[in-house]
Structures are given as structure tokens and as C-alpha cells.
Amino acid sequence: MPVANTILQLFPAERRGFWKRTAACEKDIQEIRLRAYRPVVIHMGGRELFLDSNGLFLDSPLHAYSATPQELEGLLKHICHYSLYAFEDELRQGFITVSGGHRVGVAGQAVLEDDGRLRSIKNISYINIRISHQVMGAADGVISYMYGEKGLKSALIVSPPGCGKTTLLRDLIRQISDGGAWGRGMTVGVVDERSELAGSFCGVPQNDLGMRTDVLDACPKRLGMLLLLRSMSPQVIAIDELGSSEELEQLFRAASCGCKILATVHGDCLRDVERRFGVGREKWNQLFDVGFLLGRRDGRCMMRELIRMGESDA
Amino acid sequence: MLRGVGGVMIFAGCLGLGMWYRGQLLGRVRALRQLKTILELLAGEVRYGRATLPESCRNVAARLEPPFAGALRSIDSVMKENTGESFAGVFRDRMREPLAALPLKEEDREAFLQFASESGYMDGQMQLRAIERSEELMAGTVEKLERENTEKCRMAVGLGAMGGLLLILVLW
């Protein structure tokens, strides 16, 4: 299904005429932001655009179209198949992954349980649609660094937000899973806690992660890694956005079972990551063979540095 | 001889009319029970499976006979096609035909379709209540009809037979 279609399908029939023009520019759109009584903002090709009342692009927010709370409510109902209760857990997390792998983030008024836990979000007045773009071949430049004499290496992708670490990891998974001139295809287990890698919708991956990939969707990484190890015996475990010491511990456990590890982590450099986790370089070197530090230059995502880590067989 | 045959035919016709009316009365109760079962199954899917409404329709369809099985399945298909129509609109549209084929009154049909217009609750319990409200309306009608029907059915068949006899006497 063309992406323009999946973007247009997010909207109810009566609003499709308005969104047609925006959906036609699917390749360049990164985000569509709707806020109650505020101008609709489109992030496209590094620029911020607005829409007029006919859905045509404007450069300035003056005379721009503003979304109404009713429109946001209708949009959310439509996205949730008129069954918001079925997406309660996702809404509690603040986002829903929809057909096409796009992510719909929501914000509004929090409803808390007696013990202070978040029960749900009501009066949803902010919707952020992040358009999923699988970049086939995003890992072409790094795949050669992934293989050594002993085969596949474990890799850590370090990057600040918005520099393409998830895109790179997604394509690495696909290429490692499918195999090719660089190596034989391998069984990859993906714990996709935020449904960003596979973009699963109703359990079906919307992105191509390769033919030998098993995805555990919407499962906390800490639990998911153990579950995948037991159930799917993967040769490679992949996770996005390593965030806690517990997850790091589970990665060590997976590595001790003979799995290769692919992981991404937020950070400006490896030292920044070491500091945040309170774990020294030596430990990281035990787990990973190679690291990729990503960044941006002239608005484009790129690899800033190749970090030699464990590399026992390099 | 001919008079006798004519008399028997008139009696059979009038009795048949009474039986048909009885069938209509009982048929409405049967149809309401059938619709109530569909709602109970849908509520079960929402309660235990946390399924979306179109998904619930598909799952329930597997346990039903035609024409409702086909109609419910097509609701799921249309929602999957994502034409942008609301669930309430699709549900009403697809259910129109099978409902028209049943001996129901307009108020029965509306009671059944009512829950679809109340879709989109954030809380699962609220969505369940919407389905249960439709269910309760139907249960109330079934109860009322069952109370009245024993008497009405007897009267319909009796009147049919008596009317037939009266007609024979008049025409003899």
C-alpha cells in the first residue's frame, strides 16, 4: 500500500479532501502536529509548514487552519477503529502505532489512579503523527564493518535524538536477517517495546525486518529479551533505545547465551553513555565489538565515528 | 360434496391465517432472542478479548449462521478497507438487509442498532454498558411479549378456527 494511502487512511472520510494535498507529499513529511485551536503544523524536509483552510501549504502561521477539539476527537476515534477502550494501554503510554507503521502520539489531561499511577489520558488536545519511513539501504555504509573473521559482530549505535539510529538499526536487522554478499542470513529476535522498529499494527509488522526476524511487539525489553531467548532461540538480539541497567544486564545474559547484540542508545558520545549508565568502557567492550556514533551535518544524518570496541576477531 | 370440500377449505384457510399470525408473534420473540445473543457475544468479545468493535464482529460471525454471519464479517472487511466511514454507519448499513428479513418492529431494530452509535468510549466498561443497554431493551421486549403471547397465540388460533366455522355457516 502506498504511504500516501496510509496517511490519508488515518483520517475519517469527511476530512480526507482536506488532507489529500499533505498525504501526496508523503516522502518528505516527518510529522503532522495537530493541537486544539492551534495551527496545524507539518514538518517536511526539515521545514515547518502550515495549512490553509483548503489543505494547501502555507509558510506562515497567519491565516493557517487550526484544528478543533471535535476534529481531534474524531481523528482519534477513527484511528482506534471507534474502539478507544481496546487501545487503553497504548494511550496510557502516549502513542498508538497504526497501519503503515506511523506513530500517533497523544497528549491531554492525565487521569490518575488512587495510587498516583497514570490511568488514562482524557480531553486529548494534542496529536502528533510521526510518519514512518523505512529507508532501505540505510545500513549499506556500515554493513561491511559488521562482519569479521568470526562472523557477525555485536554493535552499539550511539546517537542524539533525530539522527537516524532507529532507521539504521532497522535496516541492519533486515540485512542481517536476509543475508547477502556480507554473510549468511541469521535468525534475529527483535524486542520492539515502542513498536518503532517493526511498526507492528495488530501484531503484523508494517516494516520489512527481514525473512528470519521474529518480533516481540510492545513488550518491555527487560522481559522480552528473556522471553525471546527461551522461545525463539535467536542468533541475534536487537533492541532499540537501551535505557536502564536492568536492560543492560539482560543484554549480558543474552550475550552469554551466544547471541550477538544489536542495540541503540541515546547519547552524544560513548563517554556520555558510560556516565549515564554508570558502567565503564571495559564492560561495554565485553558486550559490543563495534560502535557507530551518528550525528547530523548540513541537516543530513551521517556516521560521525566508527568506535572500535571489543573486536576480538576484527 | 363440493360444498363439503369448500367448507373444509374455508376452515383450513381461516385456521391457517390464525396459525400464521401466531407464527408472526412467536417469530418476533425468536428474532429478538437471536439479536440478543449477537449482542451478548459482542459484549463477551469486548469484555474478555478487549477486541475492537470490527474485530468483535468478525469473531462473533464465526459463531453465527447466515445471514448475520455474512453481515458481521462484511462489517469487519469494510472497516479494514478503511474507506473512512464510521463504525456506526457501516454497522447500520450492513445490518439493514438481514434485519429487514426478520419479523421485527422498527423499535426492535433501533434498539439493536443503538449501541453502534454509542461507540468510541475510552473506557471498556462504558462501551460494555452501551451494548448491555441495547441488550436490556431487547430483553424487556422479549419478556413483555412472552407474557402476552401465550394468550394472544391461543386467541389467534382460536379466532381463526371460529372465524372459519362462522364463515362456513354463513355461506352454507
| Residue A122 shares a structural domain with residue A28 | yes
pLDDT mean over A154-176: 92
CA–centroid distance for A162 within its chain: 10
Q: Quick one: cell of B137?
A: 431493551
Give residue A199's pLDDT.
85
Residue A26 clears pLDDT 90, i.e. is over it:
no
Residues from chain B that touch A9, judged by Cβ atoms under 8 A, are: 82, 84
Minimal Cβ distance to A84: which of B51, B86, B120: B120
Residue A231 clears pLDDT 90, i.e. is over it:
yes
Which candidate in A73, A84, A92 is best for mutational testing of the B interface (most B CBs within 10 A)?
A84
Confidence label for A312 from pLDDT (cuts 50, 70 and 90): low
Give residue A228's pLDDT.
93
Of the candidates A130, A152, A167, which is a domain's last residue? Answer: A130
Helix (H) or strand (E) holding B149: helix B124-171
Interface residue ranges in chain A relative to chain B, Cβ cutoff 8 Å: 9, 11-16, 77-78, 80-86, 88, 91, 99, 120, 122
Helix (H) or strand (E) holding B151: helix B124-171
Q: Which residues contact A131 (CB under 8 A, 6 or more apart)?
A: A3, A7, A26, A29, A30, A31, A32, A102
Answer whether B131's CB lies under 8 Å from B56's CB. no
Answer whether A314's CB lies under 8 Å from A178's CB. no
Give the Cα separation of B127 and A238 in Å (integer): 38
Give residue A100's pLDDT.
79
**Residues B118-156 as b or e (16 or more Cβ within 10 Å = b):** ebbbbebeebbebbbebbebbbebbeebeeebeeebeeb
Phi, psi of A27 (to 5 degrees): -65, -35
Give residue A4's pLDDT.
58
| Residue A149 shares a structural domain with residue A95 | no
Domain ranges, residue A9: 3-130
User: Residue B50: is it exposed, middle or buried by C-beta count within 10 angstroms (0-12/13-18/19+)?
Assistant: middle
Residues from chain A that touch B53, judged by Cβ atoms under 8 A, are: 81-83
How far away is chain A from the Cα of B46, in angstroms, using its nearest Cα? 8
| Residue A155 shares a structural domain with residue A126 | no
- CATH number of A104's domain: 3.30.450.90
Q: Does the beta carbon of B123 lie under 8 angstroms from any beta carbon of chain A?
A: yes
User: Residue A313: is it exposed, middle or buried by C-beta count within 10 angstroms (0-12/13-18/19+)?
Assistant: exposed
Answer whether A236's CB lies under 8 Å from A176's CB. yes
Residue B123: name the closest of B23, B50, B33 by CA: B50
What is the three-class DSSP state of A96? strand
Cell 413483555 sits at which residue?
A: B144
Residue A166: name the closest of A75, A240, A261 by CA: A240
Of A137-141, A296-300, B13-17, B129-133, the range with the lowest mean pLDDT is A296-300
- CATH number of A207's domain: 3.40.50.300
Residues in chain B: 172
| Residue A180 shares a structural domain with residue A277 | yes
Side chain identity, residue B37: T
Residue with more model confidence, A195 or B71? B71
Closest Cα in chain A to B91: A82
pLDDT mean over A211-219: 92
Residue A156 clears pLDDT 60, i.e. is over it:
yes
Give the Cα separation of B43 and B24 in Å (integer): 28
Residue A261 clears pLDDT 50, i.e. is over it:
yes
Q: Does the beta carbon of B120 lie under 8 angstroms from any beta carbon of chain A?
A: yes
Residue A53 clears pLDDT 60, i.e. is over it:
yes
Asked if the Cβ–Cβ distance from A81 to B84 is below 8 Å, we say no
Is A260 a domain residue? yes
Minimal Cβ distance to B53: which of A81, A88, A91: A81
Phi, psi of A85 (to 5 degrees): -60, -30
Query: What's the pLDDT tens digit per position in A281-290?
Result: 888 999 999 9
Segments of A184-235 assigned E as strands: 188-192, 213-217
Q: Quick one: cell of A36?
A: 486544539
Give residue A119's pLDDT.
78
Mean of all residue pLDDT scores within chain A: 89
**B68-81 vs B87-100: helix axis angle to the nearest 10?**
160
Domain ranges, residue B12: 2-171
Residues of chain B falling short of pLDDT 50: none
Residue with more model confidence, B149 or A171? A171
Confidence label for A210 from pLDDT (cuts 50, 70 and 90): very high
Q: Render B3-24 in DSSP notation, one character per residue.
A: HHHHHHHHHHHHHHHHHHHHHH
Answer whether A188's CB lies under 8 Å from A238's CB. yes
Is A138 a domain residue? no
Give residue A200's pLDDT.
84
Residues from chain B that touch A203, judged by Cβ atoms under 8 A, are: none
For chain A, the first-to-last Cα distance in angstroms comes to: 42
Give residue A314's pLDDT.
42
| Residue A193 shares a structural domain with residue A236 | yes
Residues from chain A that touch B121, judged by Cβ atoms under 8 A, are: 84-85
Number of domains comprising chain B? 1
How large a percentage of chain A has pLDDT more than 90? 50
Of the candidates A77, A98, A130, which is a domain's last residue? Answer: A130
Answer whether A182's CB lies under 8 Å from A175's CB. yes
Number of domains comprising chain A? 2
Query: How many alpha carbons fall within 13 Å on the CB side of residue A262?
Result: 33
Residues from chain A that touch B87, judged by Cβ atoms under 8 A, are: 81-83
Give residue B28's pLDDT.
87
Of the candidates A107, A130, A153, which is a domain's last residue? Answer: A130
